[in-house]
């Protein structure tokens, strides 16, 4: 499941995972964990060698910590400070390679799973049998985020969505784009239930059975 920020990937992935009995992994958490730890340790988030060293240290300790499966509070990983740093972190190609390896290692033990991110269908799991690319107009994504989180003004949130779109889509390594075989769903005029129903139909067509 790929797509731009605030397109509804997490909400729909979780609902779909529940419906079909899949495990779920939010790959952005690994990049956020790295950005958070860099800020805490006074490491520049755009310093490739320091970031790679930090990542190697964390992976040696425990893969699930890097993946953000325990220990971290979602609020601290979603702070504005981490949000700014993570765009820099996600541009480091060697670091992306290491995160990709961790995601693949996790998936080995969770073969029936939904993984959410930006480059899942294009780079991390190019052979995934089913790929969704979820998108919506930036104004719609910002309005939904404001309603959901009840924080920040619409203008601030829209500026952040546009900044993140630019960073995700223009980065030279693994830029955000749909895989050639991805099913693209524009959710601008759809409710969550309608999105889930469309995705479920594709899952059933692919031979998956609801749990
Ligand atoms: O999905 P998110 O907003 O929590 O992602 C956080 C950051 O990580 C965002 O800047 C995009 C980046 N990211 C990425 O580059 N590749 C992924 N597979 C997932 C997230």
Tens digits of residue pLDDT in 46-60: 999 999 999 999 998
Give yes or no for residue 163 having a pLDDT over 80: yes
Give yes or no for residue 151 having a pLDDT over 80: no
> CB-side exposure of 45: number of CA atoms within 13 Å?
21
**Is the CB of 8 within 6 Å of ligand 1?**
no
pLDDT of amino acid 77: 95
> CB-side exposure of 155: number of CA atoms within 13 Å?
0
**Is the CB of 146 within 6 Å of ligand 1?**
no
Q: How far apart are CA 1 and CA 15, in angstroms?
A: 13
Q: How far apart are CA 143 and CA 77, in angstroms?
A: 21
Beta strands per DSSP E along the chain: 23-26, 113-116, 132-135, 183-186
Tens digits of residue pLDDT in 85-137: 999 999 999 999 999 999 999 999 998 999 999 999 999 999 999 999 999 99
Q: Are 68 and 29 in contact (CB under 8 A)?
A: yes
Residue among 28, 32, 83, 93 whose CB has most ligand 1 atoms within 8 A, to mutate: 28
Confidence band for 61, pLDDT divided at 50, 70 and 90: confident
pLDDT of amino acid 164: 92
Residue among 86, 121, 174 whose CB has most ligand 1 atoms within 8 A, to mutate: 86
The pLDDT of 62-88, averaged and rounded, is 90
The torsion defined by the Cα of 46, 10, 119 and 123, in degrees rounded to 10, comes to 120
Measured in Å, residue 79 CA sits from the centre of ligand 1 at 14
Confidence band for 167, pLDDT divided at 50, 70 and 90: very high
Measured in Å, residue 83 CA sits from the centre of ligand 1 at 9
Q: How far apart are CA 178 and CA 2, in angstroms?
A: 7
pLDDT of amino acid 123: 97
Q: How far apart are CA 208 and CA 48, in angstroms?
A: 41
The pLDDT of 34-42, averaged and rounded, is 97
Residue among 32, 118, 122, 175 whose CB has most ligand 1 atoms within 8 A, to mutate: 118
Give yes or no for residue 150 having a pLDDT over 90: no
Q: What is the CA radius of gyration of the chain?
A: 17
> Which residue puts its alpha carbon closest to atom 16 of ligand 1?
118
Beta strands per DSSP E along 14-138: 23-26, 113-116, 132-135
Going from the N-terminus, what domains does the chain have, and what CATH number goes with each?
Answer: 1-22+112-211 (3.40.50.300), 27-111 (no CATH)
Mean pLDDT of all residues in the chain? 95
The pLDDT of 144-153, averaged and rounded, is 83
Measured in Å, residue 28 CA sits from the centre of ligand 1 at 4
Distance from chain centroid for Cα 183: 17
Q: State the pTM of this model.
A: 0.94
> Ligand 1: which atom is nearest the Cα of residue 10?
1
pLDDT of amino acid 101: 96
């Amino acid at each position: 499941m790929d797509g731009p920020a605030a397109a509804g990937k997490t909400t729909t992935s979780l609902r779909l995972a529940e419906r079909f009995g899949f495990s779920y992994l939010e790959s952005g958490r690994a990049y956020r964990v790295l950005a958070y730890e860099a800020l805490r340790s006074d490491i520049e988030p755009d310093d490739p060698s320091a970031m790679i060293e930090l990542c190697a240290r964390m992976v040696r300790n425990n893969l699930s910590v890097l993946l953000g499966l325990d220990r971290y509070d979602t609020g601290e990983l979603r702070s504005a400070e981490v949000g700014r740093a993570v765009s820099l972190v996600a541009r480091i190609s060697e670091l992306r390679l290491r995160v990709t390896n961790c995601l693949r290692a996790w998936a080995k033990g969770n073969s029936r799973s939904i993984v959410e991110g930006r480059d899942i269908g294009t780079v991390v799991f190019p052979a995934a049998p089913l790929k969704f690319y979820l998108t919506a107009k930036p104004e719609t994504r910002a309005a939904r985020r404001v309603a959901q989180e009840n924080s920040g003004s619409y203008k601030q949130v829209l500026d952040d969505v546009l900044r993140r779109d630019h960073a995700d889509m223009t980065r030279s390594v693994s830029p955000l784009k749909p895989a050639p075989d991805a099913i693209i769903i524009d959710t601008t005029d759809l409710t969550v239930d309608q999105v889930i129903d469309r995705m479920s139909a594709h899952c059933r067509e692919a031979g998956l059975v609801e749990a």
